[in-house]
Each structure stands twice: as structure tokens, then as C-alpha cells.
Amino acid sequence: MVPPRFPRLVIYGVGLLGGSLGMAVRRRAMAGRIVGLGRSLERLERARHLGAIDECHTTPQAALEGADALVLALPPRQIRERLADLAELVPAGAFVTDVGSVKARIVARAEEVLPEHLLFIGSHPMAGSEKSGADHGRSDFYEDHACILTPTERTRPEALELARRFWTALGARVVEIAPERHDQLLAGISHLPHLMAAALLQSLARDFAPPAELARIAGGGLRDLTRIAAADTETWKQIFSENAPAMLAGLDSLEQTLNQWRAALQPASPDLKTLGKLWEEGRETRRQLDGDRAESKD
């Protein structure tokens, strides 16, 4: 698959994802000019200093003039809210995508407000970190991660084709999933786990012990488990909010499962057999999640 080359690629948002994208595109010479667009000139200048972008702009007009590609790398609610304003500014025929972690609402909005001549498709590269900012960016950030594309029946084949070539060239493993299904799956494998990590920490500090006392005895286990709870607040409150229906369905499912555990834990006579069965059910899923990798290791 031949990597695409864009004479003028605009990246809207130069945080961890946008900054890494600029570095990755530069390393592979996939753009003539990498243009940064954002609110803070200071952060843009920092991203330029780090080699993520060539130009700094705080107004979309100047950034998008002559552009033939635009990647929105903002938190998901902001992506959705900016689309209408950008619609008139992106030159005809340009490739447009985004890296938002929630897709249905963004894709619906894009199909509503973007003109037909733009080659739009939603992307969700599954690379991430609890760190934020271009300072933690890396040119190999997207390598060896899945990148989910969310085409619909309205997606132009050229947009899908460009996105496949773009993300594949950056080292990602491209997968196609419909936007609604994407949001359901991501609620389960990412958004709900993030919420659970936060809720666990909240309950620990509220009802168990002050964090300093926890820190004294906690092993690496709890730290590993809750690392994701250190992620950027602005991004995550927008993810939860944009994916609220799927999150609520996930919380319903979780509540049912936790109620089974609760029933088996009644202290009058804890039900060892059921506790074992419930544990085995999770353990078996875990085994399948690892697939053949675990089998060949152990």
C-alpha cells in the first residue's frame, strides 16, 4: 500500500495525539508542510520546537488555506462542535478525518455539515497514554496499534482508501467498524475501565484510608491497575459525556455482575462454589483475550 503524500496537512490540536501525528508524518515524509492549528500560540510554538509541525496558526482560515488534508486531534466533544465552522473553510476535495475516541455523534455531525466534495471518514487510532501534551509525543506513537475506521453508507470509497493508506503508513493495523458499534465496544474495552479505575480510587480515598496510608502498603498491582486514571481530565470528561448511553448500558451490566458477587459474599455463609465459578468466568475471558499468545508463553 503506497503512503499518501499531502502537500499541506493541517493538524487541529497539537497535544499528545496531534503532536505525535505530526512527528510520525514528518518521519515518513508524508506531507510537504505540516500545519498546526490550535488555541494556544505557546503550545503551538512548543510543538514546532519539538518537530511536530512547521507552521503555527490560531485561526482556521489561515491554517486551512490551500490545505489538502485536515486531521482533527481535539477532545471528542470539541471535534463535534467545530465541524460546522470548518465546513466552509476546507478546500474542495480535501481529506478530512479525526482521532476522537467516540465516533457516532462526530460522524453524524460531519455527514450533516461537511460539503459532499470533502473526503471525510472517522478514525480512532487506539494508541494512548495517561500522559498528555506534545512533550510526550513520539513519532512511533501509532505503530503496532489498531486504528478503527468507521465508514458509513455515505462514506466515499476514496476517503476510506486514503484513510487506510494513511494509518497503515503510520504503522497502525486498520480495522473497520460501524460508528455505533465502535462506541459500544469502546465503552466496554476502554471507557468503562477508565471510569472503574477512577471510581475505585474515589472509594478507596473516601471509605478506606487516606492515599498516603494506601501508598505505604500498595504494591505495583494497584498502581498498574489505576495508571489510566491519571489521564487528561478535559479529554475524559468529554469522552464519558459523548458516549453516555453506552456507558450507562455498561454500568447496568456491571451492576448485575457485581450483584451476583454480592450475593455469593453474604458473610453468614459465603458461597465458595459460586465465588469460584464467578472468578473462573472472568479468568476464562481473560485467557481468550490473550489468545494464543498466553498459551505459547506459559
- 207-236 binders of a second copy (CB under 8 A): 207-209, 211-219, 221-231, 233-234, 236
Which residues, including other chains, have CB under 8 Å from residue 68's CB and lie 6 or more apart? 6, 7, 8, 9, 91, 93, 94, 95
Q: Binding of a second copy at residue 198 (CB under 8 A)?
A: yes
Q: Which is nearer to a second copy, 54 or 176 (CB)?
A: 176
Q: Binding of a second copy at residue 44 (CB under 8 A)?
A: no
Q: Binding of a second copy at residue 146 (CB under 8 A)?
A: yes
CB of 163 to a second copy, least distance (A): 16
Q: How many residues bind a second copy (CB under 8 A)?
A: 100
Which residues, including other chains, have CB under 8 Å from residue 96's CB and lie 6 or more apart? 69, 70, 71, 72, 90, 110, 114, 118, 119, 120
Chain CA centroid to CA 169, Å: 19
Q: Binding of a second copy at residue 89 (CB under 8 A)?
A: no
Figure out which of the listed residues 157, 206, 295, 296 binds a second copy, where binding follows CB under 8 A: 206
The pairing of beta strand 95-98 with beta strand 119-120: parallel
Are 14 and 71 in contact by the 8 Å Cβ rule? The answer is no
Figure out which of the listed residues 80, 256, 295, 296 binds a second copy, where binding follows CB under 8 A: 256
Q: Binding of a second copy at residue 195 (CB under 8 A)?
A: yes
Q: Which of residues 271-290 bind a second copy (CB under 8 A)?
A: 271-272, 275-276, 278-283, 285-290
How many residues does the structure list for the chain? 298
Figure out which of the listed residues 87, 89, 108, 185 binds a second copy, where binding follows CB under 8 A: 185
Which residues, including other chains, have CB under 8 Å from residue 89's CB and lie 6 or more apart? 60, 61, 64
Q: Binding of a second copy at residue 187 (CB under 8 A)?
A: yes
Angle between helix axes 192-203 and 244-264 (nearest 10 degrees) is 50
